[in-house]
Homo-oligomer: A and B are copies of this chain.
């Protein structure tokens, strides 16, 4: 007998909560409840954002919706944000699920978790516009983020992206409490994820090692399965989310 879960889905850089709609449809069709929020500064024009405001947006939503024993899901840079949120939410969370997460080390910033050349590029991009924002270029998006999709799907997803506030990515994150939390964790590995080149700076297994021991769920496809293969991602979420 399949268990039914309640998922709260937190997006990563350049995305909004709308990125999950295809995955939510599949999860709901399988009897699960889903929630997705958009973090401040993502599509709303706000520029005075911070990691603390990201985390507070999650906590506020959980309180308002009175969620309990739910599965908290973070994608990419959203992975660090849900880890930080877990410090405040504690055992309200049934399990934490990280999809191809970008995880800051305790006391470090997210920019320290990306390959140095990328961090430099981001800093240059942010400095070059008035809003301290960064954006992923199409060529990088096409082959490194969503190489498993058709060009049409890749283009349509790209058109949904929004500029990302750079500030929060440069904030040192205190994750000392999180490291002590006795919270069950699952890691969804997207097997064709090459957001960072596989090898020294590849997401896997570098990020997995930071959070192990935790359940590992593999799924074929790129970093952007919510667009390229929402059925496969929903299936992985169900396996990752169960008790």
Contacts of A140 in B (CB 8 A): 213
Q: Interface size of A by Cβ–Cβ distance < 8 Å? A: 39
Partner of A205, one of B185, B198, B209: B198
A199-226 contact mask (Cβ, 8 Å, vs B): 1 or 0: 1101011101100111111101000000
Q: Does A69 contact B (CB under 8 A)?
A: no
Contacts of A216 in B (CB 8 A): 147, 192, 194, 198
A185 to B197, CA, bound (A): 13
For chain A, residues 1 to 31, give those with C-beta under 8 angstroms from any C-beta of chain B.
1-3
A198 and B208 in contact, given A151-B242, A218-B220 (Cβ under 8 angstroms):
yes
A197 to B212, CA, bound (A): 6
A151 and B213 in contact, given A192-B218, A199-B205 (Cβ under 8 angstroms):
no
Contacts of A32 in B (CB 8 A): none
Q: Does A191 contact B (CB under 8 A)?
A: yes
Q: Does A231 contact B (CB under 8 A)?
A: no
Q: Does A148 contact B (CB under 8 A)?
A: yes
Contact B213 A208 (CB under 8 A): no
Q: Does A87 contact B (CB under 8 A)?
A: no
Contacts of A151 in B (CB 8 A): 3, 242-243
Q: Does A239 contact B (CB under 8 A)?
A: yes
Partner of A213, one of B3, B197, B214: B197
Besides the known contacts A1-B152, A143-B186, 13 further A-B residue pairs in the complex with CB atoms under 8 A apart: A143-B184, A148-B239, A192-B217, A192-B218, A194-B216, A197-B205, A197-B213, A199-B205, A199-B206, A199-B208, A199-B209, A199-B212, A218-B220
**14 contacts across the A-B interface (CB closer than 8 A):** A2-B150, A147-B215, A147-B217, A151-B242, A191-B218, A192-B216, A194-B208, A194-B212, A197-B205, A197-B209, A197-B213, A199-B206, A199-B209, A200-B209
